[in-house]
Structure 1
């Protein structure tokens, strides 16, 4: 019985991690930016997200879209992780239409914009090869728009929101 629960949770971690990264790739692409750098780092990104989801240490995945000349945020997309219990139905889904609508509403990023992915983890989380500590850009003067839950698998979920200039 324990191995079934562990295998189910492992599958949930893989499903949620993969769909978080796919969602970020869509945000980058549909915002008018080139996702090739993000796709090139897929293995490193997946290793970090999966590790910290499986240990319960991942709190938020952030995608900063910023102006490289001024180093200020244009948009920031946040994916907050929820570690709920499963009701046993094994449901899983990703709301790509809601995400596409929000990206369209947020608007295109300027062609010179750049992006980077950051994560916020609990203190004491395990280190992952290819990841290092950093801090995010200021969100002063920005307002949050919430989309609600966009990825779910057996109680492990992700709620997405974005920040834009007021």
Structure 2
């Protein structure tokens, strides 16, 4: 038995499974390939592994098998995150609950309600575009709920909410 599995289309809908075709002979498979190659330009196609389900990386928009996405991102685009919370001595998982920025939910809540500046936050006046999170547009206000004033300043860089770079 000769098989080919194809993901049809230039931009298939996310979640679209690939189609597997079976042929009795190698000649039939070759004829099928010739037919779809001749139709190229009308509809794009890619040969993929059996079981493939179409997805797009939310960062680079590359076509990828859905089973290879983590949090909507391919391996090349996923940030390397610590397995444990960034707070020294805390071994909770930052990916569960209401955690953010590498902190578990409990530590994130404590940081948010702290009355004094949290030690590893950078003073906005001395910060610059070298902060990787800000360079990617992930300013400190990104998770703020509600309407923000245009002069709300990022706590990690000099950028204000009303003047995106």
Q: Normalised by the shorter chain, which TM-score bucket?
A: under 0.3
Specify which structure has the higher proportion of helix.
1
Name the larger-Rg structure: 2
Q: Which has the higher strand share?
A: 1
TM-score if structure 2 supplies the norm length? 0.20
